[in-house]
Structure 1
Amino acid sequence: MPAGSPCLQPSMALHWKNDAALYGYEQVAVFVLFKLSELKSLAVGVGINPGAMAGDGNDIFQMPTLGRPVRIGMLYDRRTDTFIPGVTLWDLNALKTNLDVQLKPSTEYNIISSDEGSCLDVDASLKASFLGGLVEVSGSAKYLTNKKTSRQQSRLTLHYRVTSHFEELTMSQLGAQHITYPSVFEQGSATHVITGVLYGAQAFFVFDLHHSSTGNVRDCSGNLQVMIQKIPMFQIEGRGSLDMSDEDKKRVENFRCTFHGDIFLDRNPVTYQEAVEVYSTLPKLLGDRRENAVPLRVWLHPLKMLDPKAAQLAREVSIGLVNQCQALMDRFHDIEMRCNDLIESPAAQAFCEIKDKVQTFRRMVLEFQAVFQKGLAQALLSIRRKAQDDSILLGMLEGVGRSPFRYCWLDSWLEKREKEGATVDGYLAMLEGVDVLSKSQLNRVLVDPMTEHIVCFAFTSLGAEDHYLQELSQCLQTKWNATEPNGASADDAGPSGEGWFDVASVLTQMRKWACLFLQIMESNKCSCGTKGKESSKVSIASVKDETYPGASLYLYSQGILVNNQLTLQKADRPSISCVTDSSVTLHLKKPPDNLGPVLSFKVSYGPVAIHDWAWVDTEGDTETLTVTGLQPYKEYTFRFLPVYRPCAGLLSESTAGIVTLPASPPTQVTVSSAQATCVTIGWTHPTLVGAGVNTCRYVVEYLESQDLEDEWREQRTEGLTCTCTLANLSSATTYRVRVSADCGPAGLGTPSHEVVAVTTEERGLAELTECLEG
């Protein structure tokens, strides 16, 4: 590089010239490249991106240590991206003597929302080795392995980074004559040697917040962002208490923290408050002179520049292929997260058929991922050691795309399971409160002698065979070779086209079954008081049955399946035959169900719009029932259900509102006198009158006893007098008489009991006059 380069000061160029003269001009290239390393170390202090200065893999370059233990003079194999302990070029005392140490103090923090590798300055080559499992990380670099486990998980990370000092070898050690152990060059186990180390420490506080659905992701992420930005600004009070508002405490109560750092802690923080406390003590934990700092980055010098016999990197993998490998691993991780979410869903927790399939699928995907990673490691070594073309890695990626593990097939299968799970979740929510029984639990209930009858909402298709899982298993059993990938078999069809949850007719029928099951549940609750019905149960289970895809209603009696497609019909509304102030008489009709004889009917009634239902049972299967104990002038509605031996039938629709009569019947109705053409009737006032009802007069109705088909004749009193004389009657005739209260707009009350009045023989005009005057 010319001395007049704008990147170099003239004094620095002169220093390089003197070093070259000292060691001989044949080593000028070595000196220049090493001084380039010094220049890169200076770049760190002035903010230049060192990665932009990297060469082709055989130049001087720098990289993060990723928590691996290193020191000056340690050897490194660029082909495997591993440090080689115990082997060195120089004597340890000579290294210590020729070590230059520079202070590089700096502190920074930032918030990370994605791309774990960017904050650690991991280049494409090192990323490829990490993906292939060649690099084992520790300390703060464990952050690279901390992946989200769920899509219902919001995550932000607070990254704290501090640097302390920089160590580098001086120029005097790089001459060939100063090499203590030249046999290292012939061994070929290393390609580079560490000539510079930047010390410091890093810490990652990973905050996770789980949410119940994708709908509140933005709110969760917003809360995380707000609260994490506050961490560097919090003040810890005297006794270690955190000064937080009640609103902030509520925001962070569900935060969960995972700590990855190069600093030893007695106890890792798990809550937000603990994370704040640890963050505030990080400078002290590093030591007053930052003596607890660890190697963060290293500068590596190629051995080829010291001795031509030394091993070197034959070829590097293209960045494009590395990015494709990263994208593939990200897709595998996304599949894993979706599997985790599905396994935790109500459907999978309730039914092992769903859970087992997803767990098997996830296990095989992870196994295939491990196979791919092993092949990736082998491919990287072949490319870097033997200079094989990138086509070997490209062939691997193309082989994955032809295998049953191609992403589009994995995604399609998982989408179907997610839709199936969502469908089952919907019905479980609809039928909330019903016991969900596993196969073994259902068997135990069926053999329980105390259980007479069970109505079961049965999912019939959850246990169907899955041919795609068989294809995945077969692919793994044939020892799929990542370096020599074979494509999918001609028999491989991928995920099947249409599941039971995709068929409109099946879903329509399932809705009908679920609605019918809800009605049976309601009827079963209503019938619990009927003798013998406490042994009837309702449940949900998975029973494989290809005859009725989706779901069906099963009826078990005495532990035996008696109906695998239970259908019930609602009875007609009860008809009203008589209404009084305190009772309503109903006529009940059995529906055309095929569940055997009706044991009894149950009638429910209650005030309109209040739905405070009361229940009354019939005696046996009688179809007439009088509901008593009602209040006068109040609107009631009525419904009923039949009770069979296996279970209760469906509740009928409710009647229209029936208003009871406004007043109870007048009492003590008597015939006070009887003449040939008139009778006098007396009574007392009704004992009950409806709320807001006033009695304004009375209506006396009478009818000759032999005229059963004639209409009642009536006579109204003037005001609330409790006597009435019926005139113009036939002599020597028997009459039936009853009295009702006239409540004006509310109508007539309940008629009294009938009394019999008999007129006398006709005795002449004088008697008639006396009767009329009376």
Structure 2
Amino acid sequence: MSDSETIELACLGQPFQLGMLYDCRKDSLIPGITLWDSEMLQKNINVHTQPNTDFKIIASDLSEDKAEALNVSASLEASFLSGLVSVKGSADYLHDKKKSKNQSRVTLRYRTTTRYEQLTMEHLGKGNVKHSDVFKEASATHVVTALLYGANAFFIFDREVSSSESHQDIHGELHATIKKIPTISIEGQASLTMKDLDKDKINKFSCTFHGDFALKNNPVTYEDAIKVYSELPELLGEKGENAVPMTVWLYPLKKLDSAAAQIVREISVSLVRRAQRIMDGLDDCDIQCQDLMRDNVAIQFPEIKAKLRNFKDLCSEYKVIFQKHLCRLLPSIRGGGKEEQELSDFLNRKEMSPFQGVLINKYLNEREREITVVGSYLDVMKDIPVLSTSNAQDKIVLKASNDYVVAFALSSLNEKEHYRPDLKNYLKQQSSDKGEQPSYDQSSTERAKQWFSLEDVMAQNRENIQAFVDFKEANKGRKNIEFCIVSIPDELGTASSIRVYERAKLISSEYELPSKPPMPNFLSAEHDCIHLQITPPDHGVSCVTLYCISYKSAESSEWTGRLIARRPRVRHLSSHLMSSTIHPALVIREESNMINGLQSS
């Protein structure tokens, strides 16, 4: 765009008036300074009606599509992204983003225009400018010469999508239902003709309104939205007196006086789109963090939630820094103080920084996988409580009725990370280097493997979990023992461990629960005893103090248990029964381990 052209801009809720001065370098109005007196401005204004109304369904929540719905140019969008432009009224729609990926969204836009006003040659003709000294101040580049009045309204409908539902199906259903709003008839006292609509479905919709209309109450439901939509024409007033500026035409001051400031160059669309994708990526990061922090696993294990919150805060801080740097660059480039290449270089450095999209997504994927893995562990141990705080752990351990507490401890949820400290250090460098962005060495991030990515660790965790579950089952019904799941850092570097407390005292932080022992081998029988060979369990034999062997006669239904010391391995069972009932018709049941008064079947 050359400086000699008139610029057409969306007003975005800014209070434009004919004759106001505007600085296109900063996309800002210059209040209080005009080229004409107020009386002269009001004379000879050309006004004609321009009535038009339409509606549009917007199925996307992308920034680019939102900007298009408000007729925002690429240059103005760049100013919005950087924070140079503040928006109000219907333009608040640009700020309204989904709060969750589990959210389906469809927006209905209502748009109406009423009148068009413009200055004439009585204002812009040669020699008609009264305050020509304004040109020398160089604070403005353009003057407002025409305005289109009207109003926009955006009805945003959201619907939560459960894990059992299809996003595509829900979105299609939402789209079809919202599309009916302009055609639904209104009867009597705002009673709604909604015979063809499923009330159960529409009750799941929530509505958010952004508009240029003064409403008594904003709509929050589908039915509210239908009522408000039908009233919008009346709210403009009989003669459209409540309409607001929607589109502005800006005339270059350079064409009125060669001494006036001018816009030297515009920001290319490709660079605006790159900046937009970066901002969208940071916004998506915020949404994903919020989703993950709401997961039950993150709630039950505060360490996971804390990591996500810290990461979210770091990305939010970087977003502010990114916007501030854009805010400094754009006016300088437009005014000719800097080349557009500086913006390109700035975006390149961002994409080589630790905040590049690939690394952000990698970190979030890792956290999601960690939550999935821990969630799968909890599914196996579903009847065992998770103790999220040290106070909750103390209550169980110190409980008077608990002689024993056996805890499955996840030990790696607080393991050292390389990436988040790198982000923090990078932000410190940003502050000290005034926005310069040094290149980032990814080697430490690439080398570091998370515990849930190591196959041997995952296999060991599964073994520990199965042993823990079996151990709990073997002690089912005992009142003096309690089982729980905790997260406790382990300096030994194991991903999980079994902690055993005896009467509030930790007797082992790395307890190896014995696996189920095999059936004893029959060796020989005598008239009053049977000789058996006991095979130790595959795991945890060092923790076994006694074996319990159960036996009964073939005709009996009652079992008798016998405790036998761990060594030696060859044992004999004697009985008060007659030898004929012991041999050969004696049934031996699988043995179990006895561990300090606990039992492992």
What is the TM-score when the length of structure 2 is the normalising length? 0.85
Query: What's the CA shift for 1:272?
Result: 1.8
Residue among 336, 358, 365 paired with 1:386: 336
Q: Match for 1:446: what amino acid?
A: V
- Name the count of aligned residue pairs: 556
Indicate whether 1:63 and 2:9 are aligned.
yes
For 2:69 and 2:240, locate their aligned partners in 1 and report how far apart those are by CA, in whole Å: 22
Native 8 Å contact 2:545 2:594 kept in 1: no
For 1:548 and 1:602, locate their aligned partners in 2 and report how far apart those are by CA, in whole Å: 43
Query: Which range moves more in the overlay, 339-348 or 541-550?
Result: 541-550
| Correspondence for 2:528 | none
| Correspondence for 1:14 | none
Indicate whether 1:474 and 2:425 are aligned.
yes
| Correspondence for 1:175 | 125
| Correspondence for 1:100 | 46
Native 8 Å contact 2:52 2:114 kept in 1: yes
| Correspondence for 2:453 | 502
Segments of structure 1 that go 5 or more residues without pairing to the other structure are: 1-54, 528-532, 576-586, 604-614, 627-637, 651-774
Change (3 A) 1:496 1:601: farther
Change (3 A) 1:600 1:257: farther
For 2:544 and 2:504, locate their aligned partners in 1 and report how far apart those are by CA, in whole Å: 17
Native 8 Å contact 1:602 1:643 kept in 2: no
Indicate whether 1:298 and 2:243 are aligned.
no
User: Equivalent residues in 2 for 1:28-107 (5 A)?
Assistant: 55-107=1-53
| Correspondence for 2:586 | none
| Correspondence for 2:526 | none
| Correspondence for 2:513 | 567
Question: What per-residue deviation string (whole Å, max 9, x for no partner) do you get for residues 442-470 of structure 1?
Answer: 23432344432222121111011112111
| Correspondence for 1:535 | 480
| Correspondence for 1:343 | 293
Indicate whether 1:465 and 2:416 are aligned.
yes
Residue among 275, 278, 286 paired with 1:325: 275
For 2:472 and 2:4, locate their aligned partners in 1 and report how far apart those are by CA, in whole Å: 76
User: Equivalent residues in 2 for 1:134-149 (5 A)?
Assistant: 134-149=84-99
Q: What is the DSSP-based 3-state SS (H/G/I as helix, E as strand, rest coil) of the residue aligned with 2:218?
A: coil
Change (3 A) 1:141 1:647: farther
Q: Match for 2:292: what amino acid?
A: L
Q: Match for 1:272: what amino acid?
A: Y
Native 8 Å contact 1:400 1:485 kept in 2: no
Q: Match for 1:540: what amino acid?
A: I
Native 8 Å contact 2:59 2:175 kept in 1: no
Change (3 A) 1:276 1:419: same
For 1:503 and 1:215, locate their aligned partners in 2 and report how far apart those are by CA, in whole Å: 33
User: Equivalent residues in 2 for 1:648-727 (5 A)?
Assistant: 648-650=599-601
Q: What is the DSSP-based 3-state SS (H/G/I as helix, E as strand, rest coil) of the residue aligned with 2:49?
A: strand
Q: What is the DSSP-based 3-state SS (H/G/I as helix, E as strand, rest coil) of the residue aligned with 2:98?
A: coil
Query: What's the CA shift for 1:568?
Result: 2.8
Question: What per-residue deviation string (whole Å, max 9, x for no partner) do you get for residues 327-375 of structure 1?
Answer: 1112222222221221112221111111111111111111111111111
Query: Which range moves more in the overlay, 641-650 or 262-271?
Result: 641-650
Change (3 A) 1:493 1:509: closer
| Correspondence for 2:359 | 409
Change (3 A) 1:213 1:448: same
Native 8 Å contact 1:395 1:485 kept in 2: no
User: Equivalent residues in 2 for 1:152-167 (5 A)?
Assistant: 152-167=102-117
Q: Match for 2:270: what amino acid?
A: G
Question: What per-residue deviation string (whole Å, max 9, x for no partner) do you get for residues 510-549 of structure 1?
Answer: 222222333333334x32xxxxx32321111111125353
Indicate whether 1:260 and 2:210 are aligned.
yes
Q: Match for 2:471: what amino acid?
A: I
| Correspondence for 1:236 | 186
Query: What's the CA shift for 1:389?
Result: 1.0
Query: What's the CA shift for 1:483?
Result: 7.2
| Correspondence for 1:665 | none
Native 8 Å contact 1:140 1:262 kept in 2: yes
For 1:131 and 1:621, locate their aligned partners in 2 and report how far apart those are by CA, in whole Å: 76
Change (3 A) 1:493 1:101: same
Residue among 287, 303, 309 paired with 1:359: 309
For 2:432 and 2:86, locate their aligned partners in 1 and report how far apart those are by CA, in whole Å: 24
Segments of structure 2 that go 5 or more residues without pairing to the other structure are: 522-531, 565-572, 578-588
Query: What's the CA shift for 1:247?
Result: 6.0
| Correspondence for 1:520 | 471
Question: What per-residue deviation string (whole Å, max 9, x for no partner) do you get for residues 190-239 of structure 1?
Answer: 11111111111111111122223496111221121111111112233434
Native 8 Å contact 1:315 1:383 kept in 2: yes
| Correspondence for 1:184 | 134
> Which structure would you say has the larger RCO, counting Cα contacts within 8 Å and 6 or more residues apart?
2
Native 8 Å contact 2:23 2:30 kept in 1: yes
Native 8 Å contact 1:590 1:642 kept in 2: no
Q: Match for 1:396: what amino acid?
A: F
| Correspondence for 1:696 | none
Question: What per-residue deviation string (whole Å, max 9, x for no partner) do you get for residues 732-754 of structure 1?
Answer: xxxxxxxxxxxxxxxxxxxxxxx
Q: What is the DSSP-based 3-state SS (H/G/I as helix, E as strand, rest coil) of the residue aligned with 1:556?
A: strand
Q: What is the DSSP-based 3-state SS (H/G/I as helix, E as strand, rest coil) of the residue aligned with 1:117?
A: helix
For 1:491 and 1:281, locate their aligned partners in 2 and report how far apart those are by CA, in whole Å: 57
Change (3 A) 1:616 1:261: farther
Change (3 A) 1:488 1:546: farther
Change (3 A) 1:535 1:257: farther
Query: What's the CA shift for 1:472?
Result: 0.8
For 2:351 and 2:79, locate their aligned partners in 1 and report how far apart those are by CA, in whole Å: 22
Native 8 Å contact 1:599 1:645 kept in 2: no
Indicate whether 1:193 and 2:143 are aligned.
yes
User: Equivalent residues in 2 for 1:376-455 (5 A)?
Assistant: 376-440=326-390, 441-455=392-406
For 2:51 and 2:72, locate their aligned partners in 1 and report how far apart those are by CA, in whole Å: 22
| Correspondence for 1:550 | 495
Residue among 115, 118, 132 paired with 2:68: 118
Native 8 Å contact 1:208 1:255 kept in 2: yes
Question: What per-residue deviation string (whole Å, max 9, x for no partner) do you get for residues 59-96 of structure 1?
Answer: 21111100111111111110000112221111222222
Query: Which range moves more in the overlay, 302-311 or 401-410?
Result: 401-410
| Correspondence for 2:527 | none
Query: What's the CA shift for 1:302?
Result: 0.9
What is the TM-score when the length of structure 1 is the normalising length? 0.67
Residue among 225, 247, 254 paired with 2:175: 225
Q: Match for 1:155: what amino acid?
A: R
User: Equivalent residues in 2 for 1:752-763 (5 A)?
Assistant: none
| Correspondence for 1:51 | none
| Correspondence for 2:263 | 313
| Correspondence for 2:584 | none
For 1:522 and 1:477, locate their aligned partners in 2 and report how far apart those are by CA, in whole Å: 53
Asked which structure has the greater CA Rg, the reply is: 1
For 1:482 and 1:109, locate their aligned partners in 2 and report how far apart those are by CA, in whole Å: 49
For 1:247 and 1:620, locate their aligned partners in 2 and report how far apart those are by CA, in whole Å: 72
